[in-house]
Amino acid sequence: MPVQTAPPKIEVPRANREGSVTVPQADRAAKVAVRDLNFFYGKVQALHNISIEIPERIVMAFIGPSGCGKSTFLRTLNRMNDVIPATRVAGQVLIDERDIYAPGTDVVELRRRVGMVFQKSNPFPKSIFENVAYGLRINRVTKSNSELAGRVEEALKDAALWNEVKDRLKMSALSLSGGQQQRLCIARALAIRPEVLLMDEPASALDPIATSKIEELIFDLKKQYTIVIVTHNMQQAARVSDTTAFFLLGKLIEVNSTEKMFTAPHEKLTEDYITGRFG
């Protein structure tokens, strides 16, 4: 198992799902660049020398067995692990070439730029409107109620939820279905216009129809955002992502175009995992 010391080369997908040629990723700036990242829960090392580059406006999927470190790694990208006691990070996570672990980093501002959607939808016990408006209000982003309403509508539209809730914005968010609640959480994350969106198994608790809506949404959102998604569902990774990274035992084993990853992976460990012959 090779130790990653330099960002793995990502093979360029030859065409996107619509058949048009994608911009070669080598020509795209890396939105996120991780260099020799190690992460510890107390004395236990959870991530080992991770180096990877995530180009702008693509969907990258993280796959791997439970406990392989993919969610831990995802949370290092907006310092969500900071809230866990006795954790330690070594290495660099650069977003737009700035190390987010550098002293003096404004973590609140970082999380505004790098939004997150969790496995279980977690709407606030407030109205649909207030859920989306919440981040805008606490960050004092908008100057007037009409501007606030406009941003809420825009976020709900971006999350493909507007048509379903536009007539009941004052109703409790908890009255929505599971899939709608998850899209509401995505709208809440989008309202403050992040640059990177981290998704930790965003559809794992949803039925196939709701999952399909989330996946379509991810596909649309990549036009504007850099999206990183952790998923246990390999078909989902194959459907929604442009590139896929495979983690095992806290190590990054392979990063490749999703097309290559699922038809002819480079590493035997990857092949064994995705063909279900792991172990």
Partner 1 sequence: MDLHRHLDDELGSLRDRVLLLGGEAEMALDRAMYALSERDSEVARHVLDHDDEVDHLEVEIDRQCIDIIALRQPAARDLRFVISVAKMAPVLERIADHACNIARAAIDLNNEPELKSVLDLSRMAEHALKMLRAALDAFTSGDAIVAREIIKSDSAINDLYNHTFHRLIELMVTEPATATRDARLLFVAKHLERIGDYVTDICELTVYMAEAAFIKHTN
Binding-site ranges for partner 1 (CB under 8 A): 234-235, 238, 262-265, 270-271, 274-277
Rounded alpha-carbon distances, angstroms, from residue 93 to 27, 60, 77, 121, 196 = 20, 16, 7, 27, 13
Nearer to partner 1, 175 or 275 (CB): 275
Nearer to partner 1, 227 or 237 (CB): 237
Least separation in angstroms between CB 21 and partner 1:
18
Question: Distance from first CA to last CA of the chain, Å, rounded?
Answer: 15
Least separation in angstroms between CB 275 and partner 1:
5
Nearer to partner 1, 225 or 262 (CB): 262
Rounded Cα gap, residues 230 and 222, in angstroms: 15
Q: Taking the CB of residue 33, how many other CB atoms lie within 10 A of it?
A: 19
Least separation in angstroms between CB 268 and partner 1:
10
Token pair for 176? 């929505």
Task: Yes or no: say if 266 and 254 are a contact pair by the CB < 8 Å rule.
Answer: yes
Nearer to partner 1, 10 or 165 (CB): 10
Least separation in angstroms between CB 266 and partner 1:
10
Give the burial class of 79: count Cβ atoms within 10 A of its Cβ; 0-12 exposed, 13-18 middle, 19 or more buried. middle
